């Protein structure tokens, strides 16, 4: 087994705990069709219990957990085991999200186990200083997202995106950069990529929209045009 390769530009659909069961599966199935239609990689997060079901029914999505512990099988009540995730078909994990922060030790342990089981790491950074420290861990994807903008529909300003993009490129050139704070439309996604990110996406901007699939397709259309060299 080897790590999945994420092609840039890519999209993230992160339902957090808003969706589960059939609602999560339905969104995943539609996103899977759109991923094939536009030939764009989609990182799709799901509740742990839903991943095996979704894995059986999709072909293109990069199935991702919203957290993982750096832990081996044994005593550890409530721990999310990397080995169990890998055997369930998980290909990536978010780490250190503002809603599930980790200490540096916990984060480094999680990265170590992710490497062992070929699980892609998507590590979240709140500030520019935070991003600077996390870049040293050389994550597969570094998410630059100010906590105060999460769920607000307000996108990070140009200066923040440009500065974090430049810093990550210098400190961890092999890491892909994800800018996703407040993203809710194709126009937001386009702007993030044009300012230097490799990927974008969101949570509430998608799952709370009147037509979530329509929002996803709007985002993918923009990414497809950017991928084709159109502005």
Cβ atoms within 10 Å, residue 12: 27
Q: Give the orientation angle of helix 212-227 with respect to helix 186-194, to 10 degrees.
A: 30
Where in the chain does DSSP place strands (E)?
A: 10-13, 42-45, 62-65, 92-95, 120-125, 141-144, 176-179, 199-202
Query: Is 138 one of the catalytic residues?
Result: no
Query: Which 3 state secondary structure label does DSSP give 127?
Result: coil
Query: Is 30 one of the catalytic residues?
Result: no
* Catalytic residue (choose from 67, 100, 145, 148): 145
* Catalytic residue (choose from 26, 30, 67, 97): 97
* Residues sharing a CB contact under 8 Å with residue 170, sequence separation 6 or more, in sequence order: none
CA distance 1 to 86: 10
What six digits make up the tokens of 108? Answer: 């480094």
Tokens 């809603």 correspond to what residue? 99
CA distance 167 to 178: 13
Cβ atoms within 10 Å, residue 127: 14
Query: How do beta strands 92-95 and 120-125 pair?
Result: parallel
From the list 180, 165, 156, 131, the residue with the least C-alpha distance to 13 is 180
Helix (H), strand (E) at residue 77: none
Catalytic residues, by residue number, are: 97, 145
């Amino acid at each position: 087994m080897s790590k999945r390769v994420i092609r840039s530009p890519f999209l993230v659909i992160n339902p957090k705990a808003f969706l589960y069961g059939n609602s999560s599966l339905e969104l995943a199935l539609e996103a899977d069709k759109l991923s094939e239609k536009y030939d764009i990689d989609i990182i799709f997060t799901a509740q742990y219990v839903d991943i095996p079901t979704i894995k059986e029914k999709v072909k293109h999505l990069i199935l991702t957990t919203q957290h993982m512990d750096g832990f081996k099988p044994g005593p550890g009540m409530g721990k999310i085991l990397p080995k169990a995730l890998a055997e369930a078909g998980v290909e990536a994990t978010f780490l250190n999200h503002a809603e599930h922060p980790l200490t540096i030790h916990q984060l480094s342990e999680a990265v170590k186990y992710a490497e062992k089981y070929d699980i892609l790491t998507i590590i979240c950074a709140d500030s520019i200083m935070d991003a600077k420290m996390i870049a040293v861990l050389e994550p597969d994807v570094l998410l630059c997202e100010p906590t105060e903008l999460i769920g607000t529909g307000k996108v990070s300003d140009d200066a923040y995106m440009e500065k974090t993009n430049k810093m990550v490129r210098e400190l961890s050139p092999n890491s892909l950069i994800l800018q996703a704070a407040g993203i809710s439309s194709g126009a937001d996604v386009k702007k993030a990529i044009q300012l230097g990110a490799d990927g974008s996406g969101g949570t509430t901007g998608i799952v709370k929209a009147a037509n979530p699939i329509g929002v996803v397709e709007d985002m993918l259309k923009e990414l497809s045009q950017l991928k084709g060299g159109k502005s």
